A and B are shown apart, each in its own frame.
Chain A
């Protein structure tokens, strides 16, 4: 039973609504981040996720300036950056590591500077940096669910080739897999997920939701598929833990969810040690 803040029947239903929306949004995100995060972890693309997440602030600034729907602006910005990074990688034909490091933080800085010029009346930077899980509305849920359905169906359809290029891209290419197209697909899927995750855990913690549940699952799973499913379960548990803490201790939602994921990672670590001995 949830504890109402104000003890009138009307307020209780509102609080339950808020919690419900937050929970659904969190679960959608966890479901997306499970399989996608597994691929990101295996390919060591964490920095790439950071870059996309940070540049989503730029999208936010654009959205505010042009007064279009913020999620749409962020989605467009992330997709554009993903395509640019892909083109850059193909052109230079080298690893993007150091370049990503530079891009990631300069885009964060640029986004912050742009936003400071736009600082409107009803604008709370914190809610974008750390997420505002308890402010998720019904409308947001529809958008979240829509993006989730598209991303998950693509992941499902292309799972085997994506796993194949993750394991060894050269062998996959010689076997005739369209490696470049698959890499672009993966980057776009991450971009879409970042746009979704922004509302839930915020710009600074998005990569955590990709990396932590998948890493926890990697210690226990015996196959890539098992790892993806376990990462979903772990992510959902993290969302539940985080919301519980947000509710009971009034801790900030996004960071609480990420902390929940960290706790689950530690438990998985212990479990795998235990299993080995």
Chain B
């Protein structure tokens, strides 16, 4: 895969830890503006793959190449901050070493301007994810790398967060590489799905992947049918969201 136009490419990347093979000869190539989602069961090595792609971890073998001076906005799975560390949201953003956007603008863009002076540890799950996303935006990324961005966020919040990520991608024109369990997102927004279980079981456009025998075997029929359902019935998805949002309008206002 010597695609020179690729932002990021992995060639035969393996990771071995003792006797255990965590990743087995993974190949992938991400081009500008492409949206790629990594799905797979727990322990499949999704986060590890993302870490290797970003250079946070070294593979045992294989090569990782990133476009020189690639600006990456990274949103980790969880922000573990010691409760004794006093950090406000805006101070957290000021830690960024490559700022190409004002902190005010970044906060406004993810809809948490009102939280600028709040301590980071006091935020809800959804608010924390938005703060992380704001930090990732500061460098005006060419690649957004997101590790389960909707983790710890309630259902309504998840939909909103994914919609926000889609909007941001269109605005910035960046590529997105993310680990996600959200089938709505995978079906509606993703260009390429990588189905990972130590090795790449199958990859391609979501509609192709959802019929792939390897995918069916990995996720089981029920899960696979769910994916197929979302693919074939988009109106249904919107109806369902409408109902879910109605149930939760009480805590909805502060996201606007």
A: residues with CB less than 8 A from B are 38, 41-44, 160-161, 163-164, 166-168, 170-177, 214-215, 218-219, 221-224, 226-227
Contact = CB atoms under 8 A, between A and B. Distances in A.
Contacts of B73: 174
Cβ-closest 9 pairs across A and B:
A218-B84, A174-B74, A164-B95, A42-B85, A175-B97, A221-B86, A42-B82, A170-B76, A174-B72
Contacts of B135: 171
Nearest to A226: B86
A224 B84 contact: no
B98 interface: yes
B81 interface: yes
Interface residues of B, number: 28
A171 B74 contact: yes
B97 A173 contact: no
Contacts of B98: 175-176
Contacts of B88: 222-223
B218 interface: no
Given A41-B82, A172-B97, A167 B74 contact: no
A235 B42 CA distance: 47
A173 B85 contact: no
Q: Chain B interface mostly helix, strand, loop or mixed?
A: loop
A164 B79 CA distance: 12
Contacts of B79: 168
B82 A163 contact: no
Contacts of A41: 82, 84-85
A176 B88 CA distance: 22
B6 interface: no
B55 interface: yes
B28 interface: no
A162 B25 CA distance: 36
Q: Chain A interface mostly helix, strand, loop or mixed?
A: helix
Nearest to A179: B56
A172 B95 contact: yes
A44, A160, A167, A224: which has the most chain B beta carbons within 10 Å? A167
Interface in B68-111: 72-74, 76, 79-82, 84-88, 91-92, 95-98
B139 A175 contact: yes
A273 B96 CA distance: 32
B55 to A, nearest CB: 7
17 contacts: A41-B85, A42-B84, A44-B82, A161-B97, A167-B81, A168-B80, A171-B76, A173-B54, A173-B55, A173-B56, A174-B145, A176-B98, A214-B84, A215-B84, A221-B86, A223-B91, A224-B91
B87 A224 contact: yes
A43 B82 CA distance: 7
Nearest to B80: A168
Contacts of A223: 86-88, 91
Contacts of B74: 170-171, 174-175
A176 B68 CA distance: 12
A167 B86 contact: no
Interface in B154-189: none
A209 to B, nearest CB: 16
B95 A167 contact: yes
Given A42-B81, A170-B76, A171-B136, 9 more contacts: A41-B85, A44-B82, A164-B96, A168-B81, A170-B74, A171-B76, A175-B139, A221-B86, A224-B91
